[in-house]
Structure 1
Amino acid sequence: MRRLLRWLVRGVVALVALLVVYVIASVVYTSVHERRDLAQSAPRDGRIVTVDGVRVFARLHPGRADRVPVLLVHGTAAWSGTWFELIPALQRAGWPVIAVDVPPFGYSDKATHTDFSRKAQAARLRGVLDAFGIERAMVVGHSFGGGPALELALREPARVERLVLVDAALGLTAPPPDASSAACRALAMPRVRNVLMSSTAANPLWSGTLLRSFVARKDAVTPQRMVAYREPASLQGASNALGAWAHHFACVRETGMSMDADRIRAIGVPMFLLWGADDTITPPAQATHLQSLVPGTPLRMMEGVGHIPHIEAPDDFARLLLDTLAAPARLAAIDDPQ
């Protein structure tokens, strides 16, 4: 028995030692890897717009002059370079496209003191439209990007031609965050959360696993796509900014209009819902709840698809989005949900 206990103690000590080595290696890797300057590294086919002191990167892909531009608002850990086949498909159909990097993602600001509220993010979307001289846009918000997209539509309905929410993470039915939880207390401490981010979400060893947990079609997470997703990860301050955003997202209660059911019921913009039927991150029940707030809102489910339709079924999703953008808003509003 004593020998067994000694082996157990040695095993625990060895595991702890390995964990310590892994954490130290992760922190060192982050400090060495995150060296690129944002302004110098941003893709040359885009521009950095400063809105209320925060730098926001966006790209304008040209289309027909008689078409209302499409504003694409990405989800968690994505950026303007991860729409992949969707932007070319929209351009082939004549739609001008603006793809924005919502702070702190992509090539937008990495400052940890940034206001990450939906109200502030919606103001940045408006600022991007202003910078490109665009009065109205078709706004498409995916996952986390659905919150700022909806907030923009509620606050600036004159700027939004129609709103398309794709597997939107709105949290309307979720309990309020518990800021006193151990996780939130850890995320509230910059030094602790920086270590946590370096060891988990910002670590390339976990990137593929994390992304695959969001999708139903695992083969959609290809090495080429992972390279694209991780491209901005080498920017200075990327993991620290991700930690600051994670604290807000998980531990700070949203107070914007997009959290107010009565405001959503009174939305003055045609709204459309596109959803993965096998989404386990924002399950279809969240789509039907949102639809119940605005009766008559079209809901299209994609069978066999999870949380990221545009990489899981790119051709089908592009066709569905193009149909949604081209459909007369008046007819779509009275169409039966599918």
Structure 2
Amino acid sequence: MRITLIVLGIIMLLFSIVCFAILLTWAPDKPVEELLPRWAPAPSQFIAVKGLPVHVRDEGLRDDPVPLVLIHGTSASLHTWEGWVAALKTQRRIISMDIPAFGLTGPNFEDDYHSPTYAKFILDLMDTMHVSRFIIGGNSLGGEIAWQVAVAAPDRVERLILVDAGGYAFTPTSIPLGFLMARMPEAAWLMEHTLPRHMMEASVKNVYGNPDKVTSDLVDRYQAMTLRAGNRHALRVRFSQLDHGAQAASIKRIQIPTLIIWGGKDHLIPPENAKWFQRDIAGSKLVMFEQLGHVPHEEDPAATVAVVRDFLKQTP
């Protein structure tokens, strides 16, 4: 009887600790309207694409006949490109957006986050904006979408920029904690109702070559985009639909000028993948930034955009 009471006491104590931890990290979804004042000031706008309000920024030279289209990666947002946009908008028209499941755009109607669906979404967005021809670039998932757009509509894509892009089957050497949680069905309820700030900070630092560059404001942004209503559920769905490498054979069909940028300290998509892209895309150029991580454009926009500027000046 005494042992039973002790065991019961331990169980009650553990239960109380878990409840207290959940209470401390409780973070319900936030309606998108609550996030707009801080995260969608001008020139942000929302454009309806097949009925879905999409967060878009259309900046720079209005008479640029071939805009630069930039696509962010998993759990990021169009804000990740702000450094590049600031450096290029006096010379180019630049279109960035929050793709479905992320940022202020949020989930799509079908809960379909396969890469070919994303590629079609980009083409639908370009049609809606009356952009017939463009240069396209993307990071991580965004890079995978970018090259799939180039494969699907080669007559519309003038150049391609891949930044630590997805496309081949790969084995990460380190995965952000938030991504690990999203892959665990047993953690679904916790993931969709709690969001410890230290977990978000650790996840962002995981994709930087130099974690000291991760600021409080940067963590605020990633936290806010994650809390946008529906995004955490959509992230879990996205991970359940992963098909790494399923379309890789079509990369060899790309025949447009291509710049490959990679962080030498990318632990999510290893740098060897950069060499695979260079091997399979004839005439492509690879620039490796040895001290940067998985989001080199965000970690050091000045160094990486300098390479992009030179690439855009070259004659096709």
Given that residues 110 and 238 in structure 1 are in contact (C-alpha distance below 8 angstroms), is that contact kept between their aligned partners in structure 2?
A: yes
Deviation at 1:315, TM superposition (A): 1.1
**Structure 2: unaligned runs, 5 residues or longer:** 173-179
The residue aligned with 1:109 is: 106
Deviation at 1:44, TM superposition (A): 4.9
Answer with 159-168 or 236-245: which moved more.
236-245
The residue aligned with 1:91 is: 89
Change in Cα spacing, 1:37 to 1:119, as seen in structure 2 (3 Å) is: same
Question: Are 2:131 and 1:134 equivalent residues in the alignment?
Answer: yes
Deviations 1:292-334 (A, max 9, x none): 22243211111211111122222101111111222223xxxxx
Deviations 1:132-187 (A, max 9, x none): 22111111110111111111111011121111100112233469xxxxxx989953
Given that residues 70 and 138 in structure 1 are in contact (C-alpha distance below 8 angstroms), is that contact kept between their aligned partners in structure 2?
A: yes
d(CA) in 2 for partners of 1:122 and 1:36?
Answer: 24
Deviation at 1:25, TM superposition (A): 4.6
The residue aligned with 1:332 is: none
Per the alignment, in what secondary structure is the counterpart of residue 158 of structure 1? coil
Change in Cα spacing, 1:66 to 1:56, as seen in structure 2 (3 Å) is: closer
d(CA) in 2 for partners of 1:219 and 1:327?
Answer: 35
Deviation at 1:247, TM superposition (A): 2.8
TM-score, length basis structure 1: 0.78
Number of matched residues? Answer: 305
Question: Are 2:243 and 1:242 equivalent residues in the alignment?
Answer: no
Given that residues 54 and 114 in structure 1 are in contact (C-alpha distance below 8 angstroms), is that contact kept between their aligned partners in structure 2?
A: no
The residue aligned with 1:263 is: 250
Question: Are 2:14 and 1:21 equivalent residues in the alignment?
Answer: no
The residue aligned with 2:279 is: 292
Question: Are 2:169 and 1:172 equivalent residues in the alignment?
Answer: yes
Aligned partner (choices 141, 144, 148) of residue 141 of structure 2: 144
The residue aligned with 2:177 is: none
TM-score, length basis structure 2: 0.83
Change in Cα spacing, 1:243 to 1:63, as seen in structure 2 (3 Å) is: same
Per the alignment, in what secondary structure is the counterpart of residue 23 of structure 1? helix
Specify the code of the residue in structure 2 equivalent to 1:83. Answer: W
Answer with 98-107 or 262-271: which moved more.
262-271
Change in Cα spacing, 1:7 to 1:315, as seen in structure 2 (3 Å) is: farther
Change in Cα spacing, 1:37 to 1:242, as seen in structure 2 (3 Å) is: farther
Given that residues 82 and 229 in structure 1 are in contact (C-alpha distance below 8 angstroms), is that contact kept between their aligned partners in structure 2?
A: no
d(CA) in 2 for partners of 1:323 and 1:110?
Answer: 36
Specify the code of the residue in structure 1 equivalent to 2:298. Answer: I
The residue aligned with 1:196 is: 191
Change in Cα spacing, 1:324 to 1:197, as seen in structure 2 (3 Å) is: farther
Given that residues 276 and 308 in structure 1 are in contact (C-alpha distance below 8 angstroms), is that contact kept between their aligned partners in structure 2?
A: yes
Deviation at 1:238, TM superposition (A): 3.2
RMSD over aligned Cα, in angstroms? 3.2
Aligned partner (choices 31, 52, 55) of residue 54 of structure 1: 52
Given that residues 147 and 170 in structure 1 are in contact (C-alpha distance below 8 angstroms), is that contact kept between their aligned partners in structure 2?
A: yes
d(CA) in 1 for partners of 2:298 and 2:119?
Answer: 25
Deviation at 1:83, TM superposition (A): 1.9
d(CA) in 2 for partners of 1:268 and 1:306?
Answer: 28
Deviation at 1:10, TM superposition (A): 7.2
Specify the code of the residue in structure 2 equivalent to 1:68. Answer: V
Per the alignment, in what secondary structure is the counterpart of residue 57 of structure 1? strand
Specify the code of the residue in structure 2 equivalent to 1:172. Answer: A
Deviation at 1:7, TM superposition (A): 9.6
Change in Cα spacing, 1:124 to 1:183, as seen in structure 2 (3 Å) is: same
d(CA) in 1 for partners of 2:182 and 2:200?
Answer: 22
The residue aligned with 1:75 is: 73
Change in Cα spacing, 1:287 to 1:281, as seen in structure 2 (3 Å) is: same
d(CA) in 2 for partners of 1:38 and 1:135?
Answer: 34
Deviations 1:75-95 (A, max 9, x none): 122111222321110113x11
Deviation at 1:266, TM superposition (A): 1.8
Specify the code of the residue in structure 2 equivalent to 1:23. Answer: I
